Amino acid sequence: MGKYQGTITHLRYDPVVSRNTKLLSAALLLLAAPAIAKPLEIYFVDVEGGQSTLVVSPSGQSLLIDAGYAGFGGRDAERIKTAAKAAGVGHIDYLLVTHYHSDHVGGVPNLLEVLHVTNVLDYGPSVDAGGTYPEDYAAAVSKIEAAKGTHKVVAPGDKIPVKGLDVTVVTAAGKHIDHALPGAGQPNEYCSGLEPRKEGSGDESGENPQAVGVVIELGKFRFGDFSDITWNKELALLCPDNKAGKLDLYLATHHGGLSSRAIWGLAPRVAIFNNGPSKGAEPAGWRLVKQSPGLEDVWQLHFALAGGSDANAADTFIANVDDDLGEYLKVTAEPTGAFTVTNHRNKFTRTYPAK
């Protein structure tokens, strides 16, 4: 047998090279791993029976729907700021003012004292102010524009360009979308026997019929906020065909005032009432929403004094069981349609799996 004449090379372990190799491998694995998508977050802020709803896209962009009341030492603006901080939001990308009642628009000047607003949206000049904008709101809009922000009037069918979400205006300035949203448009069996009320009578005049309503979608998850639209405007949107489509999450119209049973066609899994102790979640309105076929739970910002134990959710589902606590409800939603509701007061959480 011949003698092997080659040179044998011995490998020497180098701990520095080994550590660097491991770090490089770990970094490559992180780069190769798919990014974990963030959820949609919705904060229902307690503004004592008004509206302020903070929507935070998976992209991090924010949409604030209304700003509650003015005054009270800037109470509502501070509560919005608290929710924004919890969401990791340092400014508001889009502020949507649904209409010009004080419980929706009043807090805008206070809001600008605590958070920067880049874009403000509304339905146009107020019908209650003779075709002009309310003075305090007009001054706030001018302040936003002076800081290089924008002001835009929205109409049914418009999209609010929040990155990562599909936000469609379905009502505005007394009008509604002409065509059903994708996947919607089915006949609404609950419209049978419902008749419009006389236009210009009672609640069918003034600001409420002008309110901006939106449907917000993330994948299969759908949330509807129709602000304070009236009986006739509900019927126009939902009858005889449901142009808005079915919802996972529904913010009770007019803080839980009496709606028509046409809302049953929305088939929400969960309803949230942005009520106060003595405003909204009226017993008849609460019961009508509660009876919606397929509804799994009602959540409320406040215990409604008029409803007693018979027309309120269990305390576990209520953010504020005593007056003026300022606690919020939070919804976290996934593109699959699954979502979770959390009561900030008691940290109670319920998850609604995708269907």
Q: Is 167 helix (H, G, I), strand (E, B) or coil?
A: strand
Per-residue pLDDT tens over the stretch 160-207: 999 999 999 999 999 999 999 999 999 999 999 999 998 877 789 999
Element (H, E) at 290: helix 283-290
Are β-strands 249-251 and 349-352 bridged in parallel, bridged antiparallel, or unpaired?
unpaired
Query: Which among 182, 171, 106 has a CA at the least distance from the CA of 139?
Result: 106
Per-residue pLDDT tens over the stretch 275-334: 999 999 999 999 999 999 999 999 999 999 999 999 999 999 999 998 668 999 999 999
From residue 58, alpha-carbon distances to 83, 107, 343 in Å are 16, 26, 21
Q: Rounded to whole angstroms, how far apart are CA atoms 154 and 168?
A: 10
Task: Say which residue, 134 or 10, is predicted with more confidence.
Answer: 134
Q: What angle do CA 201, 206, 209 make, to 5 degrees?
A: 85
pTM (predicted TM-score): 0.90
Q: Rounded to whole angstroms, how far apart are CA atoms 291 and 112?
A: 40
Query: Which among 139, 92, 141, 146 has a CA at the least distance from the CA of 114?
Result: 92
Using the CB atoms, write b or e for 222-259: b if 16+ within 10 Å: bbbbbbbbbbbbbbbbbbeebbbbbbbbbbbbbbbbbb
From residue 186, alpha-carbon distances to 122, 183, 217 in Å are 29, 9, 18
Residue 139 has pLDDT above 90, yes or no: yes
Domain spanning 40-352, CATH class: alpha beta
Q: Rounded to whole angstroms, how far apart are CA atoms 124 and 140?
A: 15
pLDDT of residue 241: 98
Phi, psi of 187 (to 5 degrees): -60, 140
pLDDT of residue 187: 98
Per-residue pLDDT tens over the stretch 262-289: 999 999 999 999 999 999 999 999 999 9
